[in-house]
Structure 1
Amino acid sequence: MTAFHLDNRVARHLFLDRHALIEPPTGPAGAAEMQALIERLGFVQVDSVQTVARAHHMILWSRRQRYRPATLARLLERDRSIFENWTHDAAVIPTRYFRYWHEKFHRSRKRMEERWPRWQGDAFMGECDEVLNRIARHGPLSAGEAGDGKAGNGGGWWEWHPAKAALEYLWRSGRLAIAKREGFRKFYDLTEKVIPELHRAAEENGVTLEWACSAAIDRLGFATHGEIAAFWDVFSPAEVRDWCMSEIAAGRLIEGRFMGADGRLWRSYARPDIMEAAARTPEPPSTRIRILSPFDPALRDRRRAERLFGFRYRIEIFVPEPKRTYGYYVFPVMEGARLIGRIDAKALRDRDCLSVRAFWPEAGIAMGKARIARLEAELERLARFSGCAAVEFTDGWQRDTVPA
């Protein structure tokens, strides 16, 4: 028996509200406000690509356009109220969640110990001890410094300089933490020197499972057991499925359906008050346009985004240029609660402009004068955020529709 049913419009509104994309991107963006936003999202993915702005900065800016990158640096390096580690990828995470990360460290260490010494050679664990001792004696260390300027060629872990691999292993397994960044270069220090003592004690496995699953479903609104497992990427889908079954038996979860963009019904779990929560969800500003990072939390799960919004997105950085459908790094464009297209833009800082090379509207999206004006206004805001004075449009930047 279906306990809840969400039509597509309501499901999109509820999901976007949990991801802070319903309300206008206005208001204060100081340290306290950005800390609260990161806690609301759960984590913010960190990425090095700076075609316009790095993903973590763009994720926060798209929700609070007064945000400036120095605020994130303060939270990480001075306040120590966020830390950097791994969910499905590198991310900044509220430090008060660190106590739950010991299970992640344990599982990561176990996986790495099965493979990394084989790639790096028999001396790898000795290299780890040497790196730890060096940091203990001399303080924070970057990969370049650890490898005497030979931090590797940027390939896979098996191709890294041993000292760089040791730093990554020690960070992923919890013995080191990111103390600061200079540019995008990480500096590692002993965890006890970065994470406040208040947050370092480990929680038991069962407590961590309960927290991880509850925190995920509360941020997703409705989800399958696989989507819950993928949110933090700590526990397996099988472990999360068992948790869901026990929560249903206890009356703390219910099973229902939401309607996808194509009209199909998809099974999900939710809290018993899901329909009341949906009724309280505000309407989004129907004409507000936002340009999102490809790594935005609302789009991180590509299959979920495709089911919910009918929007298929793939990163084409590693696709040879002649085979790309769109471009190297194109940005999803949202209007209200719909994804209306994607745009190819790049900050050309030597020319002080944001260069817009192409925009592809989704099928059925008409680009009238008013919508184009709103898109151009958002591009001007994005240009200022990226440090550029103007927007430059190439000839034919407006494409008729998504390629077949």
Structure 2
Amino acid sequence: MGPWLAGAGKVPHHTVPAHSRQAPQTLWSPSLASQAQPPPRLIRPQESRRILLNRQGLSRPPGRRSGPASVRSLIRRLGFVQVDSINVLERAHHLILHTRFDGYRPETLKRLLEDERVLFEHWTHDASVIPIEFHQHWRPRFRRYADRIRKRGWWQDRLGEDPKPLLARVQKRIRDDGPLRGRDLEEEKRENAGGPWWNWQPGKAALEHLWRTGRLAIAGRDGFEKIYDLTERVHPETATHEEPDSTTHRAWACGEALDRLGVATPGEIAAFWKAIPLADARAWCREAAELGEIEPVLIEEVDGRRRPGYATLDSRSDARTEPWSDEFRLLCPFDPVIRDRKRLSSRFGFDYRFEAFVPAGSRRFGYYVLPILHGDRFVGRIDPRFDRRADRLEVRGPWWEDGQGNRSDQRRLDTALDRLADRLGATEGWRWDQEAST
């Protein structure tokens, strides 16, 4: 367990009494002063940054222990790690873990997913690696996906008006013959041109449908291609899980989200897992605050505006934790700390846009830009690319924030790039792109 976990709290997952469920939200205002209600605690931007960085494993130096137990513990602490196919440096999930662990090896995550199977792959706000102990709370999502798929034209175009026969055949094929890749269906179609029913688009759509609705799981990956198998074979312990009732699920989703954020608005809590609507998050926050389980606060933004929010009861210790600032950290575009661009702008004063899908001529900075974190501030950004043929990291930039870019900053950036090249196994190190914008 890494040192960043010290002081991390746990929000109780209560079941709220019926009489409190419709209680009005009460935030402090001068008109309430006569009722002797104290004003909510004001959380300054630096405090909210420190709380978030501590909860997300970035307030301490990178951990030295990066074995399976440490990696599993970190993923549970983060809640999930996003998976992405872009490989200009390394897959996003590995970069996120690299940032928090010296010596992290991708085979460690593969072992946890495919051998020990203590993690599973599914969706949060996007495709993610998730602790298996949370699987029960994905049952409502499986059901929602089934409802959505039935109503969406994209799926109907690929599965047909009555998809049940196709889904049954794909599921039977896996049950009888074992794990299956989408490519296997394509190859069968080619070998049996004009065959009875296989078609690449319907077959692949059927696999995705069965996975998104929980009947299939990801047993492994061939490169980055999914290998599907029956959920009861991949994660047999989940077979006895029952779908939690709505109150229990709401309490879990909100409590676990706030525990990982430390301080947040109801909107940020609802968006963390993408498991509940905003109205449910607002109701839970109101009820939990009335029960004294969380604290109403005012979150100050860098422009001076203040927004109502909520904090865990132990967030004060996180706010006092001065983050490690000996070196720079280079964050993946999918790192959980920068995932919420609005929060990144309002509390860090750093505007970031992922430009991989922006036409090259319209990009402001680059294809896969990494923000540079120093302590609790973002001080600049770079656009690196791993040239695997030359075995070297090519780097465009840097683009410094106002007041940054002195010799000390440049030395720290050089060190961070040395570490990145070493982590990626770039034997020829790194160099600045000659056409870089500085």
- Aligned partner (choices 58, 74, 82) of residue 45 of structure 1: 82
Q: Render the CA deviation track for 1:285-322: whole Å, top value 9, x for unaligned.
A: 22320111000011111111111111111111221111
Task: Tell me what 2:65 maps to.
Answer: 28
1:169-189 residue CA offsets vs partner (Å, 9 max, x unmatched): 111111110000121111010
TM-score normalised by length of structure 2: 0.85
1:109 to 118, 142, 146: 146
Partners of 2:200 and 2:365 lie apart in 1 by: 32
Residue-by-residue CA offset, 1:39-92 (whole Å, 9 max, x unaligned): 010000000101111100000000002101000000000011111100000000
Name which one, 1 or 2, has greater alpha-carbon Rg: 2
Q: Deviations over 1:212-249 (max 9, x none)?
A: 11000010111111111110001111121121222122
- RCO comparison, higher one (Cα < 8 Å, 6+): 2
| 2:306 maps to 1:265 | yes
Cα offset, 1:369, TM superposition: 1.8
- Partners of 2:324 and 2:318 in 1: CA distance: 19
Give the whole-Å Cα distance in 1 for the aligned partners of 2:403 and 2:287: 43
Q: Distance in 1 between matches of 2:240 and 2:352?
A: 38
Show the counterpart of 2:416: 378
Contact 1:225 1:240 in 2 (8 A): yes
Give, in whole Å, the separation in 1 of the partners of 2:340 and 2:347. 11
The one-letter code matched in structure 2 to 1:168 is E
Task: Return 5+ residue gaps in structure 2 as ranges.
Answer: 1-27, 29-38, 191-198
In the alignment, is residue 225 of structure 1 matched against residue 266 of structure 2? yes
Do the aligned partners of 2:186 and 2:200 also contact (CA within 8 Å) in 1?
no
Change (3 A) 1:199 1:310: farther
**Residues 398 and 326 from structure 1, CA distance in 2 versus in 1: closer, same or farther, beyond 3 angstroms?**
closer
Distance in 2 (alpha carbons) for counterparts of 1:368 and 1:66: 29
Q: CA deviation at 1:363?
A: 2.2
* 1:154 counterpart residue number: none
| Counterpart check, 1:69 vs 2:110 | no
TM-score normalised by length of structure 1: 0.92
Q: Output the aligned Cα RMSD.
A: 1.9
Q: Which residue of 2 aligns with 1:342?
A: 381
Stretch moving more, 282-291 or 127-136: 282-291
2:127 counterpart residue number: 90
Moved more, 6-15 or 387-396: 387-396
CA shift at 1:396, angstroms? 5.8
Matched residue, 2:249: 208
- Partner Cα distance (1:211, 1:67) in 2: 30
Matches within 5 A, 1:5-404: 5-115=42-152, 116-120=154-158, 121-148=160-187, 161-197=201-237, 200-202=240-242, 203-279=244-320, 282-365=321-404, 367-389=405-427, 390-395=429-434, 397=436, 399=438
Q: Give the Å deviation of 1:150.
A: 7.5
Secondary structure, counterpart of 2:307 in structure 1 = strand
Query: Unpaired segments of 5 or more residues in structure 1?
Result: 152-158, 400-404
Partner amino acid, structure 2, of 1:372: Q
Q: C-alpha offsets along residues 76-125 of structure 1, whole Å, 9 cap, x if unaligned?
A: 00011111100000000000111111111111221112115423222533
Instruction: Answer yes or no: is the 8 Å Cα contact 1:4–1:255 preserved in 2.
Output: yes
How many angstroms apart in 1 are the aligned matches of 2:334 and 2:188? Answer: 30
Matched residue SS, 2:100: coil
Q: Secondary structure at the match of 1:344?
A: strand
Q: Deviations along 1:241-262, whole A, 9 cap, x unmatched?
A: 1212221222222321122222
Which region of structure 1 is more displaced relative to structure 2, 190-199 or 36-45? 190-199
Q: Partner letter of residue 320 of structure 1?
A: P
Distance 2:334 2:101 in 1: 17
